[in-house]
Structure 1
């Protein structure tokens, strides 16, 4: 190989033929999603994928991919996968990912078309949230988005933090309903405040007790602590519940606290029919919102976003322009919006394209109808559980989560049995000290027939317990 041709294909026609074959196999995988449940990796999986570094042609290389790797994916593309909150991806997203990889654009900044696409996504999110305007940024997911949001909250209260760090700052508290997502605690650990900065507020039936919140803030102030943020949960991971965001917003306003909404999957109920679209009423009052696209919106992993109401504050929190990133009036250094000014990363992929393509290609009406279907399916699963002689509903179905308590047997053992047999994927959680099976239905391929079959398989597994 000569200089300048060491990495590109030597034979572009052969590469194109291989790429057509790879595309065909990907489409066949998507077409056969109903026939591809999770399959445990073989004992020699590590040996199969060990890197030799010898080099290999595209055709045999991807033969290995489809033989050794693809069959042992998580299985979340299957219509009976309800574990955790794993989205399914879409064919539109697959195509957009290939285009984004072909462009290979660094979306940290510079005057390029992708920056306008990302801004279009953020502007659309403002409308979904009920905000007239604001700021925001694409992220890898809600975990990263939470760090950005809480950093802005801290910057508002302590603008010296960028220069001085944590020195001289009081001990802070961030309030979240008991059972709220652990990404808030992890964000505070990364930000240097420690896990103890998280104050978990009582949440009967999975909903934050607002009076308990007021009491906790008063108690912490009396102890010399600094209340900083109230986190409203918009779709809890355990039960799919929503805090009363209007009531939480009243507390945040009265106490001069930042209101952040953890809306990883629950944000998208705003696209659904009533009554589910009203579950997040009050989110329009938030100072920041974090959400994922790769869950209920079926965008391929990974894709999330954060919304920040105050753009000036957002910029003050993160903008850093050394001489090698100086803005220019013309050329690539121009452009009015650089993503790096709004977050931690300078090197960023074109995540926004697969989101933009999903929303534009599928349409909000179809996406909203699918979200509505999932909520109806969860309610139906709950009805089937209640009608069973060996299953019971562990908590009311509020949105798209159904938590089932088996009459006997360990929930973890039952879940593993169903997963290994390829019947269905439930995950597990604790409700009032009892281990239960949990179904988070965010799958656009799931049907009522799948729900019936999954509950029947679970019931059979429970009956088989000695």
Structure 2
């Protein structure tokens, strides 16, 4: 027994507690349908405060099981379609146990985590269709990946000296569809270019208006500005729309622009069946891609990927080694590459292992089948909505997102209030989780299908609950 270190004082007691907690976690995932989101008691929250005294791992473990585990986001439940939250994998339990045991710093050096990350990046490169010259790095998610990608683009535009000298007022501008994710604007801000330098191009159900894009590029050049990047969207977060990536690639090549794709979830349609696979045609021509493993591939949070077409561009933007990190010809510091040379983080967790586990255990066919199933479910929900009196689709179902209103006969203000209340009622009751978005000024209900646990009967039951909630709210005189 070692009372001076931080390890458990009684390893056998710790083992028994860990087995019990693991069993509880497995039960929770096996029976996920029985555990929708529930509101955490406001009175219970103050009890999570830490006194700093330390009460032992057994007591802490039991508090986790009792006071924390039940109050999840709800995204493990089959009727969770809010936002674009991946639902996780039971297989992730195994990889996370091993990753915690290894406790690797994946910033560099010669150890298994480095090679696993290389294998994951190479697999993703092949799925997307990038060449052998591509490189990448695993990050927290698409938001961070976008910064990595656009920093690579900025460095190519201004040269490696810009890392030390800054942008020096260089009039760089970039282009994206009006519905591009906010992470692109944030990236422009973080890179010192400003969100106003991101030109928002009008879009329709078929994506960005290419004629308006060409005109905007010509206008900026005529005003002595410097277009340097165009950002395509593979699966918009609001509507699931896809830009015409093939045409964007052609425009980028003709204008000498870096072509970046935000494919947070939509990039993985490369694994889906037709016709959804073809939504992302052209993605293989991008200079960079930002995407998530924790959305449509259901890898446990958090795990995203920045994939760069030419490794030299990524290294030019990020490689930097102080003396204490200098590579060696042998030993622990002997391996290349060090992933700290490909992004902003030096200390990095072993994110790659859970991706490796997902692909190795399930394979591309099963992962792709789940993506295809979700797209079919979104289409099916759209058809059910069109067949249900009072419900109305508010946008075409392009891929995996279905947006609708519960009472088309009401005024826009009344519809907005009703749809918002329905989303609250269904979430609090545990019947289903829809999020909301705005279409033509109306707050609408939104279902985003990235949930591998959803079955077709969930769609009919959820829409039945929407209608019942709508009718009850109307009868109560709330609206």
Q: Could you say whether these structures have the same fold, taking a TM-score greater than 0.5 normalized by the shorter chain as the test?
A: yes
The runs of at least 4 consecutive aligned structure 1 residues that moved more than 3 Å come to none
Superposed CA offset, 1:176-225 (max 9, x none): 10111000001111111222111110002261011111011111222222
Superposed CA offset, 1:123-146 (max 9, x none): 111111112321111111000000
Which residue of 1 is the match for residue 477 of structure 2?
A: none
Which residue of 1 is the match for residue 165 of structure 2?
A: 164
Quote how far apart the aligned CAs of 1:166 are.
2.1
Secondary structure at the counterpart of residue 81 of structure 1:
coil
Which residue of 1 is the match for residue 16 of structure 2?
A: 17
Quote how far apart the aligned CAs of 1:2 are.
5.5
Which residue of 1 is the match for residue 420 of structure 2?
A: 412
Quote how far apart the aligned CAs of 1:423 are.
0.9
Tell me whether 1:124 sits opposite 2:143 in the alignment: no
**1:1-16 to 2 correspondence within 5 Å?**
5-16=4-15
Which residue of 2 is the match for residue 64 of structure 1?
A: 63
Tell me whether 1:258 sits opposite 2:258 in the alignment: yes
Conserved in 2, the CA contact under 8 Å of 1:206 and 1:239?
A: no
Conserved in 2, the CA contact under 8 Å of 1:206 and 1:236?
A: no
What RMSD in Å do the two structures reach over aligned CA positions? 1.2
Conserved in 1, the CA contact under 8 Å of 2:8 and 2:57?
A: no
Secondary structure at the counterpart of residue 280 of structure 2:
coil
Which residue of 1 is the match for residue 346 of structure 2?
A: 346
TM-score, with structure 1 as normaliser: 0.98
Quote how far apart the aligned CAs of 1:173 are.
1.4
CA distance in 2, matches of 1:74, 1:257: 40
Secondary structure at the counterpart of residue 71 of structure 1:
coil
Superposed CA offset, 1:29-76 (max 9, x none): 111210111111111233121001111222221221121111111100
TM-score, with structure 2 as normaliser: 0.95
Q: How many residues align?
A: 464
* Residues 280 and 55 of structure 1: CA distance in aligned 2, closer, same or farther (over 3 Å): same
**1:73-88 to 2 correspondence within 5 Å?**
73-88=72-87
Secondary structure at the counterpart of residue 63 of structure 2:
helix
- More moved, 6-15 vs 342-351: 6-15
Which residue of 2 is the match for residue 141 of structure 1?
A: 141
Secondary structure at the counterpart of residue 205 of structure 2:
helix
CA distance in 2, matches of 1:324, 1:281: 44
Which residue of 2 is the match for residue 448 of structure 1?
A: 456
**1:284-433 to 2 correspondence within 5 Å?**
284-407=284-407, 408=410, 409=415, 410=417, 411-433=419-441
Conserved in 2, the CA contact under 8 Å of 1:48 and 1:68?
A: no
Which residue of 2 is the match for residue 241 of structure 1?
A: 241
Superposed CA offset, 1:248-298 (max 9, x none): 111111110000000000011110111011110001110000100100100
**1:276-287 to 2 correspondence within 5 Å?**
276-287=276-287
Superposed CA offset, 1:381-426 (max 9, x none): 0001111112111111111111112214422221111101111000
Secondary structure at the counterpart of residue 305 of structure 1:
strand
CA distance in 2, matches of 1:12, 1:48: 28
CA distance in 1, matches of 2:191, 2:45: 35
Quote how far apart the aligned CAs of 1:174 are.
1.5
CA distance in 2, matches of 1:209, 1:149: 23
Conserved in 1, the CA contact under 8 Å of 2:434 and 2:446?
A: yes
Which residue of 2 is the match for residue 98 of structure 1?
A: 97
